[in-house]
Structure 1
Amino acid sequence: MSNAARTPPSIPTIDRVPCVATVADAAGGVFLATTPARSRPLGLPVASGLLAGVSLALWLPWLAPLWLLLAAAVVGAPAWWQAWRGRWMGAYLVGFALAGLHATHALSVQLPVDWEKRDVEVRGRLVELPQHQPRRTAFAFRVDRANDQPEPLRGRLLRLSWYDERDGTGTGRDEVQAGQRWEMTVRLRAPRGLRNPGGFDSEKHAFAGRVSASGYVREPGKARLEQAGTGINAWRGAMSQRIADSVAPESARFLSAFALGDTRGLDDEDWHVLRATGLSHLVAISGMHVGIVAGFFALAMAGVWWVFPGLGRRVPRPIAAAMGGLVGAILYAAVAGFALPTVRTVLMVAVVAGMRIQRRRSTTLEVLALAMIAVLVVDPLSALTAGFWLSFFGVAWLVWCLPEVGRRPPHDLVSAQGVATIGLLPLTAVLFDQASLAGPLANLVAVPWWTLVVVPLSLVGTALELLHAGWGLWAWDAAAWCFQLSWPLFDTMAASDMALWWLRESRWYALPLALAGAFWLLLPRGLPGRPLALLLWLPLLWPARDLPAPGEVDIQVLDVGQGSSVLVRTAAHNLLYDMGPSTPDGFDSGERVVIPALRALGVERLDRAVVSHADNDHSGGFEAVRRRTGIDSANAPEDSGIADTLPCVAGEQWQWDGVSFRFMHPPPYFPYLGNDASCVLRITGKHGSALLLGDVGKVIERDLVRRSRLDAESAIKAEVVLVSHHGAANASDPALVEATGAQLAIMSSGHGNRFGHPRTEVTRRWQDAGAATPDTAQDGAIRVRMGEAGISVETRRAARPRLWDAGRRDNKPLVDAAPELSYRPD
């Protein structure tokens, strides 16, 4: 599920009501105790110190040594509990130690390098709902702890894929269901993701989830089912199927999300509408939903005590209500499969229930602080998730800005939307590189309608179906009808070009400045100079694009796995050369990599797109790019079968902003021969040239060398070369290597690809000729600037190192030892 801005509704305050009041944080959910009191060892300063320590440990580019972590824990723990003003510093040290120790463990459970690409037989259980896709089923698999299991994998969590067998025999992947026990042979590797501007950091996601390895099932026909599905996830899967069989498809997938947290049925278009309208936080079970259920349980328990007042002599009614709310939260979190937002909510409810049992009074901020402490102590790696920051910051903004909320509900709801929009915009911009302009209005409709009507009806239907099959159909039908009343409105809102505002990547200081600006804007009315706070938002909302000057060229070689995609920018124009692969299992690099990168770099439209040839690893993402981004003109080899493109023909050239572009291959009337028909493009600026070779082989490379010797305009000398065919052995002819005189030979390949690209002998050939050889498989996206200062190179992994960066655990070191290297052309 894709996270979006979590917009909380109003926070009611409840006086003299013997139950826990539900609080409207859409991501985390919080319960307000009605008893103000102060708990110094667990107050707001301590929570802030703990959070600061956790954040420092997780966002350092290296893992702190064990001795330092232990020393911080030994010094920090007594300092935290000692009664003095500096106890927040003790919490800071404890947070640093806790996060560092958890990070050490998370990295230690990842698959050792020498176990990669082995066939390993494992036995275990499916622990989540599997994702069934057209040709693949993806699922989470927990390996047994038994001694007969491979030692590095015992008890570990794996992310596996089950692909269709080509012969159609053996066990079908559709039989894979949650809660089942299987014995199977798998091939694994440590979690590894793509690193690009604006891209999803799957390595961080795996690190926070303690995923040990990812891989696929080998010889699926030999996999053996040991036990049918059992447990809560098996029940969730069966109930989700019952909803799909009972309700119209256009509503069933949303009802499964509302009632069970099962978002598997939502497609890309659904998520686009939800992101554009800022409603993603309301679809799957969130903390707010858990809060509503807990509140109903608390009220029901209080009602029982009201009907039977004698029970109050044994257990006071407020305590019974608090315990009822906690039980309801735990039950509903179980229905959601104990997803992280629901676990956070359960911890928060437990905090408030404990306070009620101890009959302690506390302010809302202190309850929030105590809940944050509980969450961070239990799982400090949750600070890596967007939901953590949005949930706690959302409630904190509302508590600070709306202290008297609850007396005028309509006004409070509008005020809450305004506060959430202003207060959370900096965070959503940094976390998701986007902002929903339609979100505040959409949430004004969806929060009360979905939360108070659609979700309760979905839950009632699920509860009745649990009691007896068929009893809940009327409630599901009613929920579907109510949902369909609102969905066309949101679909229409999402269709507007103004619904979703994509933001460029900003500098590190943009977020603190924007948060300070939000604080300034939300200060009480009458404070002079409040509009000036908008100036603090400029580095975040309109960051500098760092465009090349006239005559300069900026080249971004994106990390698309085993494929290629290159963005070329001049002072006022943009060209995209190739768009990466799309795979039958649903991964489309055009949608997942290229489009986010274009948006992060501020590219709204392409002046030209060039598809080097029709092979999927170069052209697979073209349709997604064409659908999501305007393209003025497109080129591809003649007879390549790529629709709506003009042929690229050797000799065709044009100029943009003092930079010359020229197709070097194929010549006129050249037949389409796959790789050897690739469009070869040479780019020449004032300070150097670049040569993009597609997948041409040695025969074509020799022909390019021959033609360059006969015609000065066909010269192929270039300081920067995108190495042909990802560094395959059938390319990079020695004659071409010598003729280019390249200082930088870029390899675009997939990590651990089955072809062995780039080949060692090819890499050595370029290096012996004096070229540096960065590789997207090791370095992530590679940025090259050919400017007045020379040729500067920046790799994504070196420029933005991360604690969980899998590239630093490879046997092969990163090409760049520093974020930026410079080369000067001869």
Structure 2
Amino acid sequence: MNRFMFGYCATLISALLWPTLPTFPLACAVLVIAVIMLKWSKLLAGSLLAIAWMSLFCHQLLVFTSDKSSEPPSVRGEIISLVYRNGDWINADIRILADHPFHFPDKYLRLRWQSEQKVAIGEVWQFTLAPKPITSVLNQGEFNQQAYLLSKHIIGKGRVIAAKRLLPPQGMRAKLLTKLRQDLASLANGDLMLALMLGDKQQISDAHWQGLRQSGTGHLVTISGLHLSVLAIWVMGLGGYLLGRLTPRLGLGNRQAIALVALICCGLYAFLAGLGLPTQRALIMLVMVILLGLIRRYASPFERLLWALFIVLLLDPLSILGAGLWLSFGALAIILWFTQSWPAPDERLSSWQRLKWRLKQMWQIQWRLSLSLGLLQGLLFGGFAPYALIFNLIFVPWFSLVVIPLSFMALITWIIGIYLGVSVSLPLYLLDLAISPMTLAFDWLGELPLHWLPASMQLVSALVFGLLGLILWRLASGAWRWMIPVLFMPLCLWFLPQRLTDPKSWQVHLLDVGQGLSLVVEKQGRALIYDTGAAFGEHFSYADRVIVPFLHYRGIGELDYLVLSHSDNDHAGGADYLLGRYPKVKLVTDLSYPGAIDCRPKSLNWQGLRLEILGPREPQPGNNGSCVVRISDGRRSVLIPGDIESEGEQSLLTQSAEVGSTVLIAAHHGSNTSSSGAFIRASAPGIVLYAAGFNNRYGFPKAEVVRRFRDQKALQYSTGDNGQLSLKLDEQGITVLGYRRDLAPFWYNQRFEFGEFGNPE
């Protein structure tokens, strides 16, 4: 084993847990030390190189200087992906085009602009931007968009102020993509064919996306290691057969020629697929495995895998932040682990017996792969697709034997037909027919229950430890076997009922929903929610993207109360979605929902806590009509005043409402129209939380409000700075945990500013 590469890969992967990255001068010094250490310790030298290279790479990627003569900034970029289009609003990813020839690594921006013009992939535009950093909302259970953008080398977001098309689609792929879309428009599975032939997944319909997710087969339409490996096997198999017939004596020469042809075919397929980062990683991995196999220098499959991983992480260290790397290399490592010790089939077996032997081996690989990747999927995506094993057992072989080679053949014949001026439609119809069994199965799958099983992080972690226990039980001996019951302990503890937890402990979670409000009160596996955050259009809601994943992550199965303070979108936008997901929830609001509990002053008991609705005394529109709630355990209390302003605060004080609180959710996100001096003195909070988005356009929380609370000696925290804020209230007191600072204090979760890189905190 190469110690240098092992040290580099292991240390770079550990960057997932680093709290910060070295500064640029320190990284340069570490790089020099790494070169010096090569003479004494290759393992240490590799580790030091990983530390230095991760920091230098991020500095090179994230530092951005626009055209200094323009304000706001102006950039020239090529459209590489149309992420989303709704009417005349466009969301697109662009590759920034530099004026100098050497620009490593490529930098991308995610832009949103309003345009009635038709926009195509491959066009070059000049954009004038209102830039935004990649800093995103962060909560437990939620998809980490910030890490995802970093893994895709997207260094910023922005709103387009002005745009001018400079050049039509450039390059062969862009022209082919436009033509192929037209030719596939009439076919039922044209969207999936486009993904398989040219790697464009933007056209995949919602119904097909849902089927791919529920069946766990999304990897089959993403050109990656499976597709390139299958293509290489087919080319080498057919080439070996043909060359064996034509030149049977040139054994080694035939192998080398076939391998070269296979690599050329895979490189062509990857190029036509757009050479996205997952495709690049898969191609590098395949090239290394084949070349090292040809030169016969590294016999161990794991050594070849280490070489491939080293090259991938050297070219793109940020790939560790994406799920694709873990799924690709995880699948290959699992296959190597379970197949390296298998004996070859007995030479005396008949053809039928050999076929049965190979089917048995395929079944053993597939169920192990599905189980292991299912657990990995649970860690990455917070849930399981229960039908994934069945679908993958059927369609992975079908795609490997039929669909993937047919996709490449259809693509090549279609391209040749274009350049010859001949319409070649038969391969396209055959490919559409070959994909049909899977899409028909999607319709059948939609009628079955339990398409997707969300899982709490406690359960997923317990299952991972349980799997490690099973592996240790099969492989370990001697003193190591005492670890087996320890590894099974988390799974046993997970089955303990929630009521066995501390009955006096409860949690308050102020979720990061941008410039909006959503608060979850949790006790013994049940929850109360105050407000839902915003919803935008038909396809986006913070209730869907943040609240429900958070509840699943925490293992909260019951939602008892939903309080809607008032009608503003940033407070009640996700109400209908939550009511649809939890039809038995009790609704507290003055909005016009049938059967809702109104916000007139009253007191309710919930899970041993006192839930006091303080007002308003009469329904009224606007911010001062917010439903004010106080939650108390008898010793500590949390006051949630919604968006009330100074007039509403004065009304509460006039009616002698009990507003004294240990924790206060600042009214109206920290607006200067709220949090009057009289109200602050009456509530006298020790802790103040602001539901305010990062760099929000209103400037919340206002400096004057912060000063008023500081004068009262209150501790202050904002979701814009910290992400999700969680408070644990128990016999020992109150513990405040921020997502960026405490729950996931890693460098890629910190706040970033556009065009800058350093220690942002």
The answer to whether the 8 A contact 1:56-1:96 is kept is no
Is 2:609 the counterpart of 1:659?
Answer: yes
Match of 1:257 among 186, 195, 203: 195
Distance 1:791 1:468, change over 3 A: same
Shift of 1:541: 7.0
The answer to whether the 8 A contact 1:401-1:522 is kept is no
Partner residue in 2 for 1:245: 185
Partner residue in 2 for 1:59: 17
Partner residue in 1 for 2:695: 752
Partner residue in 2 for 1:278: 216
Shift of 1:458: 3.6
How much is the aligned-residue C-alpha RMSD, in angstroms? 3.7
Q: Any idea what SS the aligned residue of 1:804 has?
A: helix
Distance 1:260 1:633, change over 3 A: farther
For 2:267, the aligned partner's letter is I
Partner residue in 2 for 1:181: 124
Is 2:39 the counterpart of 1:100?
Answer: no
Q: Counterparts of 1:20-35 in structure 2 under 5 Å?
A: none
Partner residue in 2 for 1:438: 387
The answer to whether the 8 A contact 2:661-2:684 is kept is yes
The answer to whether the 8 A contact 2:589-2:599 is kept is no
Q: 2: CA distance between counterparts of 1:741 and 1:236?
A: 66
Match of 2:168 among 225, 228, 231: 228
Partner residue in 2 for 1:803: 747
Is 2:466 the counterpart of 1:466?
Answer: no
Shift of 1:192: 1.0
Is 2:535 the counterpart of 1:566?
Answer: no
For 1:52, the aligned partner's letter is A
Is 2:572 the counterpart of 1:635?
Answer: no
Q: Any idea what SS the aligned residue of 1:128 has?
A: strand
Match of 1:290 among 204, 207, 228: 228
Shift of 1:338: 1.0
The answer to whether the 8 A contact 1:520-1:533 is kept is no
Partner residue in 1 for 2:596: 646
> Deviations along 1:720-745, whole A, 9 cap, x unmatched?
12122212222223222221111122
Match of 2:111 among 160, 172, 177: 160
The answer to whether the 8 A contact 1:506-1:539 is kept is no
The answer to whether the 8 A contact 1:574-1:608 is kept is yes
Q: Any idea what SS the aligned residue of 2:185 has?
A: helix
Partner residue in 2 for 1:142: 95
Distance 1:647 1:270, change over 3 A: farther
For 1:737, the aligned partner's letter is I
Distance 1:261 1:539, change over 3 A: farther
Distance 1:534 1:398, change over 3 A: farther
Q: 1: CA distance between counterparts of 2:366 and 2:505?
A: 45
The answer to whether the 8 A contact 1:186-1:217 is kept is yes
Match of 1:206 among 136, 149, 168: 149
Partner residue in 2 for 1:14: none
Shift of 1:584: 2.9
**46-55 vs 195-204, which deviates more?**
46-55
> Deviations along 1:308-328, whole A, 9 cap, x unmatched?
539969x92111111111111
Shift of 1:706: 0.8
Match of 2:306 among 369, 375, 378: 369
The answer to whether the 8 A contact 1:435-1:501 is kept is yes
For 2:165, the aligned partner's letter is L
Shift of 1:440: 1.4
Q: 2: CA distance between counterparts of 1:540 and 1:482?
A: 47
The answer to whether the 8 A contact 1:419-1:522 is kept is no
The answer to whether the 8 A contact 1:405-1:412 is kept is no
Q: 1: CA distance between counterparts of 2:317 and 2:494?
A: 30
Partner residue in 1 for 2:354: none
> Deviations along 1:780-811, whole A, 9 cap, x unmatched?
00112232222221111110222123427699
Shift of 1:491: 4.7
Q: 2: CA distance between counterparts of 1:690 and 1:533?
A: 39
TM-score of the aligned structures, taking structure 2 as reference length:
0.87
Q: Any idea what SS the aligned residue of 2:234 has?
A: helix
Distance 1:645 1:207, change over 3 A: farther
Distance 1:78 1:155, change over 3 A: closer
Q: Which runs of 5+ in 1 are unaligned?
A: 1-39, 164-170, 709-713, 818-826
Is 2:366 the counterpart of 1:417?
Answer: yes
Shift of 1:433: 2.0
Q: 1: CA distance between counterparts of 2:297 and 2:628?
A: 74
Partner residue in 1 for 2:352: none
Q: 1: CA distance between counterparts of 2:414 and 2:226?
A: 23
The answer to whether the 8 A contact 1:734-1:765 is kept is yes
The answer to whether the 8 A contact 1:461-1:471 is kept is no
TM-score of the aligned structures, taking structure 1 as reference length:
0.81
The answer to whether the 8 A contact 1:589-1:621 is kept is yes
> Deviations along 1:594-653, whole A, 9 cap, x unmatched?
1111111111231121222222111222233333445422233234xxx55614222233
Q: Counterparts of 1:66-81 in structure 2 under 5 Å?
A: 66=24, 69-70=27-28, 72-77=30-35
Match of 2:678 among 723, 731, 735: 735
Partner residue in 2 for 1:505: 457
The answer to whether the 8 A contact 2:127-2:164 is kept is yes
Partner residue in 2 for 1:516: 468
Q: 2: CA distance between counterparts of 1:273 and 1:530?
A: 40
Shift of 1:357: 5.1
Shift of 1:340: 2.1
Partner residue in 2 for 1:17: none
The answer to whether the 8 A contact 2:133-2:754 is kept is no
Is 2:441 the counterpart of 1:489?
Answer: yes
The answer to whether the 8 A contact 2:403-2:435 is kept is yes
> Deviations along 1:668-702, whole A, 9 cap, x unmatched?
5x24x132322221111133111112222222221
Q: 2: CA distance between counterparts of 1:540 and 1:303?
A: 57
For 2:678, the aligned partner's letter is A
Shift of 1:339: 1.9
Distance 1:595 1:509, change over 3 A: closer
Q: Any idea what SS the aligned residue of 1:258 has?
A: helix
Match of 2:645 among 674, 678, 697: 697
Aligned length in residues: 738
Q: Counterparts of 1:188-203 in structure 2 under 5 Å?
A: 188-203=131-146
**55-64 vs 555-564, which deviates more?**
55-64
Partner residue in 2 for 1:683: 631
Distance 1:267 1:773, change over 3 A: farther
Q: Any idea what SS the aligned residue of 1:198 has?
A: coil
Q: 2: CA distance between counterparts of 1:543 and 1:392?
A: 35
For 1:246, the aligned partner's letter is S
For 1:184, the aligned partner's letter is F
Distance 1:234 1:130, change over 3 A: farther
The answer to whether the 8 A contact 2:76-2:124 is kept is yes
Match of 1:352 among 272, 278, 289: 289
The answer to whether the 8 A contact 1:423-1:519 is kept is no
Shift of 1:197: 0.4
For 2:413, the aligned partner's letter is L
Kindly, what percent of the aligned residue pairs are identical?
26
Q: 2: CA distance between counterparts of 1:204 and 1:543?
A: 34
